[in-house]
Structure 1
Amino acid sequence: MAGLKETPRQKMIGMMYLVLTALLALQVSDALLQKFVLLNNSLETANQSATDKNKGTVKGIEERIKDLPNPGAYADIIKKASEVRKISDAIVSQIDEIKSKVVEAGGGVDPETGNIKNPKEEEKVYHLMVGTGKKGEAYKLADDMDAFVKTLTTLADKGTSFPALALDAKDDPIVSKDGNQRNKDFAELNFAQTPVPAALATLSQKQAEIRRYESEVLSQLAAKVGAKEIKFDKVFAQVSANANTVVAGMDYEAEVFIAATSSGFTPRMSFNGGSIPVRDGRGQIKFKTSGGGYDANGLSKKSYTAAVSYMSPEGPKTETITKEYFVLKPTYNIETATLPALYLGCANRLSVVSPGLGSLWNPSFSAEGGDAIAGESRGKVTVVPSSSVVTLNVNNGGTLLGKETFRVRRVPRPEIKILGNGGELEEKRGASASGLRSISAVAVADESFKATNPEDAQFRVTEIYIALARGTRKINDLTLQGGGSIASLAAQAQAGDRYYIEVKGVQRKNFRGTVETIPIGSVVKNIPLN
C-alpha cells in the first residue's frame, strides 16, 4: 500500500482487530462477552479521536490557504478535502445505523445497568446481517465500503492504494488457512454465530479503518499547501562531478554532500517545461542526446532546464536549474581488406568499430546502391554492391553517425590455362602427337581478389572446342565440358599437325551459391604437334 503509514494509535487498533478475530473462534462465555464490550468501547473512543483529528486537518488546510498569496489557486484542494470528509462521514454514519440495529437485536440497552439486555443473542444478529438469500445488512455494507475505497483512491495522490475493507475469508490472511472458515464470505465470516458485542466491535473496527484511510488522504492534501510539517526522513549521500568523462592526465573534480527528501512531501518537477516522474523525492530525467554543432575537438555544448515546485512555509516556490553538458561526436573506424574499392555483387565483409562508445556501440547498417547484411557479431556487416558506387549508412541507437561511400570495381577476369595430360600446354613447346591423350581448361582467379573474397572466387570452364588441323585443313573436331579425352583426335594426329583450342564458356559461383556466366572474350590457343 503506497504511502500508507500507521501511527501508534492505528497499530493499537490493528492489534485489537487481531484479538477480536481470535476471540470469535472461541466458545463465548460471559467473561469473553465482557471483553468484547471493552474492546468495542476502546475502538469507539479511538474513532472519535480520529474524527476530531481529521476535522482539525481540514481546518488547518483552510486556514493555511487563507494565508497564501493566491487562495483561489487552491480551490481544488479544499474541494477534495471536503469530498474526503463527506464520503468518510457518510459510510461511518451508515455503520452507526447498523450498530443501532444490532443493539436492538440484542434487546436494546437496559436503562438501569446501561448494558445490552441480551448480549449473547446470535440468531437475530445473523438474520439482520446475513439474512436469507444473502440480503442482510452486511452485503450492502460490503458493496458500499468497496465503493468508498474506490472513490477515495481517486482523491488520493497517484500511486496510493488502499486494501479492501470487506474481505471474504479466502482473501483474509488471518483466516484464509482455516479449513472451517476459508469458504465463508465477508458477511458469514464476521456475523455468523456472532454475539452482539462481537458484532459491534467488528463494525467499530471497520470505522477505524475508514478514519485511517481518510487521515492518509487529508495528510496528502495538507502537504500540498504546506499545512503539514515536512520532515526530511530520507537522507542519502550524493556526488556531483564536473564531468563523467575525463582524459588521462586531467584532474577529476567532484563534490560529496548529504541530501534529504521527505516521504510525506512530493514536489512537482519538470524538464524543459515538461513534467517528469518523481521517485523518493528525486526527479527522473532521461532523454536521447542530439549532436550537431561540433567544435574542432568533436564536442557539442548543450544545456537543459530543470525546475522544482514545492510549498514552503512562506508559500509556493519554484527553483530553476540550468545544467550544461557536452555531447561527444561518435567516431568509428572501418576495417576491411578490400578498401578503397569493393567488388560488384560480391560479399565485401567489413568491420566497423568505435572504441569511444564502448559498451554503447550497437550499430545497424543500411546501404544505398547495394545490400547491407548484418553479421553475427556487433559491428560486422557484409556489403553487396549492385552499382558502380555504394554508400554505407552507419547508425547507432537510432542515430545516424555517418555515411561512407565506396567505389565499386568489377570482378577481375580469371586467367585461363590449357592443360594436356595434367600439365600446362605451351604454344612454343608444343606437344607429342601420339602422347597427348587429354586436354582440359581451368579458370584461375586473380590472386588479390581470391585473397579478399574467397567465397566469390570460384570459377570453372564449362565448354572448350578442340580441332585437329593439318595445314589449312581441319581433320576432325570435338567439344568438351571443361576437358576430357581426345583419343578420337589423337588417333589421326601426325607430327606437324596442330590442335586449335578455343574456350567457349566460363562460370563463377558467388557467396550465395548463385552461378553466373562470365564474359571472357576470345581465348584461343594453337598447340603444335611433334
Structure 2
Amino acid sequence: MAGGKQSPRQKMINLMYLIFIAMLAMNMSKEVLSAFGLMNEKLSDANVRATESNKRAYESLALKASEQEKQYGAAKEKTDALKAQADSFYSYLEDLKGKMTADLKDKKDYETMDKSKFLDELFFVSGTITPEGKEFVSKMDEFKKASLEVLGETELASVVSSRFSTDPVKNKDGKQLNWLNYHYEGFPLVASLTKLTQIQADIKATESDALSTLLQGELESAVSLKNYEAMVVFEKNAYYPGEKLSGKIVLGKNDPNLTAEKVTINGKDWPEDKIKAGQVILDGPAGSVGDRAIKGTFTFKENDSLVEIPISGGYSVIPRPNEAVISADKMNAVYRGLVNPMTISMPGVPSNKVSASAPGLSRSKGDSYVMRPGKGNEVTIRVTGTLPDGKRVSSNKKFRIKDIPPALGKVRGQYGTVSMPKASVARTTIAAGLPDFLFDLNLKVVSFKIKVEGQPAVPVTGTKMNARAKQVIAKARRGGLINIFDIKAVVAGSGVPVKRVGGVNIKVSN
C-alpha cells in the first residue's frame, strides 16, 4: 500500500483501512480500560474481606496471648508491630487513590481514565523523581523492612521481599529502568489505580501470611503429644511410715479429652479404673522410710502410631517427728541487750502449725524469730507443733545468755598503738569496736580519759578532745605515748552499755 504511484481509488481504499484499524484500536483500548476497572473493583472487594479476616485473626491471637502469654505473647508482639506498619501504609495508599479520582464525576467510568497526567506530574518532573515519588517508594521499602524484621528467617521472608521489591527493572528492550518509572510513568490512570489496589492486597496477604507463619510453630507445639511433660503431684511432700500414699500424675497440658491407652509405673501396668482423662490416680501404702522413685510411661495413640511420654518423679517417706529443730542464726548462744535472729522449725510441719515461746522471744515471719534475752545465764525455748493427723508434739531447748564481749578502743579505725603527728592527735576522734564479733554492732563512745607522759590524766566527754586534753597533748614529746583509757561506750540505737572497753595508744611521730 505504501510503494509506487497510486490511483485515487487505491488512496481511498488505503485511507479506509487506516480508519478501520484506528477504530479497532480505540475499541480495544476502551475494553482494556474497562478490564482494569473491573479488576480494581474485585481487588477492592477482596481487600475488604481480607481486612475482616485479619481482624478476626488478630482478635483470636490477642485472646490466646491473654490466656497463655508465655506461648503466644511473642507472636502477638510481632504481629502488633506489623499491623501498625500495615495500617499506616494501607491508609497512605488509600489517600493517594482518593486524590487520583477526586476530580472524576463518575468514579466507575473507567473508559475515561485513559490519561497518565496525575501521577506523571505527582511523581516525575523534568526526568527526575519528585519528593512525592520518593516518599511513595520509601513507604514501600519501610513496610518491607518492617515485615522482614517480624518474619525473621522464614520461607515467607523471601516471598515478602519479592512482593515489595523496588529494585530497578529491565524493560522488553533490556534497558534497566527505575522501579517507579517502569510501573507508573505514562500509564493510564485506571491502570495505576489498580496497581495501588494490588499493593494494598499484598499488604493484607502479608499480614495473613505472617499470622499463619508465626502461629504455626506454636500451634504444632501445643497439639503434639511429643511436647507433653508428665508431672508427679502429691497432696503433700513427705509421708510417715504406714501412711496412705495420695497423689496423681498429671500431664503438662491437662486436656479433659485426652486419656492414655496404657500407663506403666515402676514396671507394672496401672489399673484402667485409675487412668482418668489427662491424669493417673495414685493411691496405696507410702512404704518404709526413705526416698521412693516413680518411673514409667504414658502411652497415647496419635494418628496410626503410639507415642510414649516418660514419667519421672519421686517422693520421700520420713520418720514421724518427735523433736523440734531450733538453730540460732549466729551461734548456739544469745546475747543480752541485742536482737538475736533465730530460725525455729519442725520437720514435716508447716511453719503456721509451729509455735515457740520463751522470755524475750517473738516471731518475725514464718519460721523466723528474734530473741531479746533478759536476766539470767540461760533461756529455755519451748516448741509445739501440730502434725497433719492433728497430733501435737513438743520439744524444749536451752540457750546460754551471754553479755556483749569486751570492746576495744580505736583511732582512725585501728586498734592497739597508732602512730600519728601531734597536731593530728588533738583533732582525732575516739571510737570503739568489737573485732571478730558475729554481730555487726555500731558502738558509740560516751566518755574516755587521756594520759600524756608526765602529765595528769584528763577526763573527756564525747568522742572529741576538749580544751584541757588539747593542752596536755601539746606537751607530749616526739616518740612519746599518749594513752586513751577508761573508755565508756554504748550500743548505738539501743543505748545498751558495753561492760568493758579496752584502751588504745597513740605514738607521737613528730
- Sort the TM-score into its range (normalised by shorter chain): 0.3 to 0.5
- Which structure has the highest helix share of the two? 2
TM-score w.r.t. length of structure 1: 0.34
